[in-house]
Structure 1
Amino acid sequence: MTCVTERFFQYDSRLEVEVPSLDRDWDEYPSDLQEAVIVHWERIRAGIPDVIARFEKVIATLQERAAVEDDWDQVCKLYWEIADYASRINDLNILYRSDPELTSPGNSSTQTEAKTR
C-alpha cells in the first residue's frame, strides 16, 4: 500500500490531505492497481469531513476575532483568511464527491472517468 500512497497520491499542505496525482489516464492502469488506488482513496475520503470540521472551527474563531477587531486593516486580513479557509472547504467538498470507478476491459475513458455525485 505504501507504493500506492507514494506513487499515486501527493500530500497537499493547503488541504491537509493526500490528493490523487495520476501520471496518465485512469483507464490506462490495470484493474488491480485501480482497485488499490480506490481503496487508499476511500480511506482518505473518510477523513475529509473531519478536516472540513476543523477548518469550520478555524473560520468561526476568525469571525469572532473580526467581530471585535477595531483595526480595519486587521479585519480585512482576517476576512482574507476566512475566504482562504472557505476555499479550502470548497475544494475538499469537490474531492469528497469524486468517486472513481474500476475500468472494465474495453470501456472507453469517457465511460470510466471519475464521477462526481
Structure 2
Amino acid sequence: MPVDNVEDRLDRAFTALGDPIRRALIARLSRGEATVNELAEPFPVTKQAVSRHVQVLEAAGLITRSRDGQRRPCHLNAAALEELTSWIDTYRLTREREYRRLDSLLEETKEQDR
C-alpha cells in the first residue's frame, strides 16, 4: 500500500469539501458530535445519501466515527482542518509579503515624485 502523503490528503480533503452538503456537515460537526440520523435531519436527501457524504468525509480524514453503545457518532477531526488551514496560510502569507513590498515600493515612488 502506498504511503499517504500530504498532497494526497489535501486532494481528498479539498475534493470532499467541494460539495455543499459535506461543507454543511462539517459546519454542523464543528458544534459537536452527531449521528448520521441527526446529521440528515435538515437535508432534503435520504439518510443513505448523507451516510455516503459521511463516508467521503471520513475517507478524506475530516471526520472520525466512534461507537457509543448503539450510537455511532461522527466527530470533526480538527487536526485535518488545521492541516488545510496551514496549507492555505502558507500562500496567504506569501501574497501578503509581496503586497507589503509593493506598497513600500509605491510609497517610495510617491515620495520621489514630490
How high is the TM-score relative to the length of structure 2?
Answer: 0.30
TM-score, length-scaled by structure 1:
0.30
Larger radius of gyration: 2
Relative contact order (alpha carbons < 8 A, sep ≥ 6): 1 or 2 greater? 1
Pick the structure with more strand per residue. Answer: 1
